[in-house]
Amino acid sequence: MARSHSTTGRHPHRQARDEDTVSTAERIIAATLQLLSSRCLHAISIRDIASAAHVNSALISYHFKNKENLYNTVVASQFQAYQQQVVSAFSTEGDIRKTICTVCHLIASFHHSNPCMLILYFRELTNPSPAYKTIIQPCIKEASDKCVAMIKAGIQAGVIAPATNPRHVTLSLVGMVNYFFMTRQIMQDLALEPANNVNEYIDFVCQTILKSIVVE
């Protein structure tokens, strides 16, 4: 983790120094994430990161000790953001039809703003680092459990057909949305819709899921 701490506000000088520290650490994280979007970790050197972040290599060691720690921080920041911005919306309250649409659009807008998350995720699935067990597995477990609870609440409320398999719904919903972002590059390269029409496609996904599971 970054060694930066929250400011106390008591010492203006220390506050200024801490803010510099935060922004340096964040700049290093952002540059690493950018480099990871097209290369795997072992193809990236501390020198590459320093150059991309416009910092001295020594500052990377100061903030993150080594490349593996920095990588862990990058993965953790992406999956924590996913939990906060997306998984927290997997709710058992309210109209399940509305919740499912909200969730689909939230997943889409998260990947739109964080295009590296799925790249890191799938690299970890085929070539796991220690982050796979400590960061990724717990996040996916929580996301899956909460999505299943959400579908079960819909069954309990009599809105979703009782024979519905909540894991099938979870997997198909996430699959339809995530696959869009994973293949967006080739859709754009081949000029295939809906590359540039994500909202229309996500509306189709919501309707498809709801038609499949809502009691008629």
- Distance of closest approach, residue 157 Cβ to its own copies, in angstroms: 21
112 touches its own copies by CB under 8 A: no
CA 139/CA 132 separation, integer angstroms: 10
Considering only 7, 144, 149, 152, the residue that binds its own copies (CB under 8 A) is: 144
167 scored as a contact of its own copies (CB under 8 A): yes
As a whole number of angstroms, the distance between CA 51 and CA 40 comes to 17
Instruction: Choose the binding region for its own copies from 1-9, 63-71, 103-111, 182-190 (rule: CB under 8 A).
Output: 182-190
DSSP 86: T
Give burial (CB, 10 Å; 0-12/13-18/19+) of 159.
middle
How far apart, in whole angstroms, are the C-alpha atoms of residue 62 and residue 70?
Answer: 11
Instruction: Considering only the C-alpha atoms of the chain, give the largest distance between any 2 of them, rounded to a whole number of Å.
Output: 65
- In the complex with its own copies, which residue's Cβ is closer, 23 or 34? 34
Q: Where on the chain is the footprint of its own copies (CB under 8 A)?
A: 37-40, 42-43, 119, 122, 125-127, 136-137, 140-141, 144, 165, 167-168, 171-172, 174-180, 182-183, 185-187, 189-190, 192-194, 200-201, 204-205, 207-209, 211-212
